[in-house]
Amino acid sequence: QVQLVQSGGGLVQAGGSLRLSCAASGLTFSNYVMAWFRQAPGKERELVGGVTRSGGNTRYTDSVKGRFTVSRDNAKNTVYLQMNSLKPEDTAVYYCAADRTYGFVSWGLGEYDYWGQGTQVTVSS
């Protein structure tokens, strides 16, 4: 049984930082591209960023470039999202996701095989 269990998140003031973690089990973690998505109220779920299987390449949506960093530790079966300089518009439920098919970080939600349970991130102004 595959599980992606997220931790971290919460309430932070604008300009602050948070780190999300996503621990995977039941799969060969290093075979999966890992990504973070987010969904704000009334909006579609969107890719925030992701990392390739070896951790050698990352991709980010423009709005978070230079502020967010996705990393992974294949020895711990865990992917991280470090969020700095947070803005109120970053408020959303954040999800980690795993994709076995492609070797790159895909923008499409349908490409991902497994999803975490979601974690609320709220940034106050």
> Residue 31 has what pLDDT?
97
% the chain with pLDDT above 70:
100
Distance CA 34, CA 31 (A): 10
Cα first-last separation, the chain:
40
* Cβ-contact 92, 122 below 8 angstroms: no
| pLDDT at res. 101 | 87
pLDDT score for 102 = 81
Q: How confident is the model at residue 103 (pLDDT cuts 50, 70, 90)?
A: confident
Mean pLDDT score of the chain? 96
**Is pLDDT above 90 for 63?**
yes
- If you average pLDDT over residues 70-76, what whole number do you get? 98
